[in-house]
Amino acid sequence: MIKRLFDIVSSVLGMIILFPLFLVIVILIFMDSPGEIFFRQIRIARGGGEFILYKFRTMFRDADKKGLLTVGMKDNRVTKIGYTLRKYKLDELPQLWNVFIGDMSIVGPRPEVPRYVAKYNQQQLKVISVKPGLTDYASIEYSNENEILAKSPNPEETYINVIMPAKLKLNEKYIDEMGPVTDLKIIFKTIRKILVRA
């Protein structure tokens, strides 16, 4: 109950305070490339259901049909403004709406697409027993995930066999430690990580 209240208050305040930034981003996306402002994608929710996750669009139209993974900061599917939005995680801001309506929390395991959740073993499925979030231990540890994949001869294989299992272990760590103190610690670490990249 406390976590949900925190999510509602944080998401509402976030959307109000960041509204001017939202407008600037919308204009920049519109000017940069044709297509919708928002990117919508099906992700797995707590309990195994599905929900629509929202992001600011950072790729050219229909780019996701050429693959689910973004490889490095020089992926030619990414728009000019998209590089900046991704670098500072600004493309994730519309997920404050997901938090407000209850699909996600501020802190929790990042939601995955159905294709990759289908590869989880029984132990890893523990991750979808809690509500997914905007940030967690794995988001901080693998903030440079795209760069790691760019160095791989087979990015998807590397993601499935190396990165995804490592992230799921960190997700499990969060579940074992979850609570208000852990959430605040992760929030501050996330902010610090973003500022370091600035």
Whole-Å CA distances, 195 to 88, 123, 165, 190, 192: 8, 34, 27, 9, 5
Q: Which amino acid, one-letter code, is at 17?
A: I
pLDDT digits (tens, 9 = 90+) for 102-133: 999 999 999 999 999 999 999 999 999 999 99
pTM of the prediction? 0.88
pLDDT digits (tens, 9 = 90+) for 26-80: 999 999 888 899 999 999 999 999 999 999 999 876 666 555 555 545 667 788 8
Cα–Cα nearest to 194, from 110, 95, 113, 86: 86
CA atoms 117, 155, 108, 91: torsion sign: negative
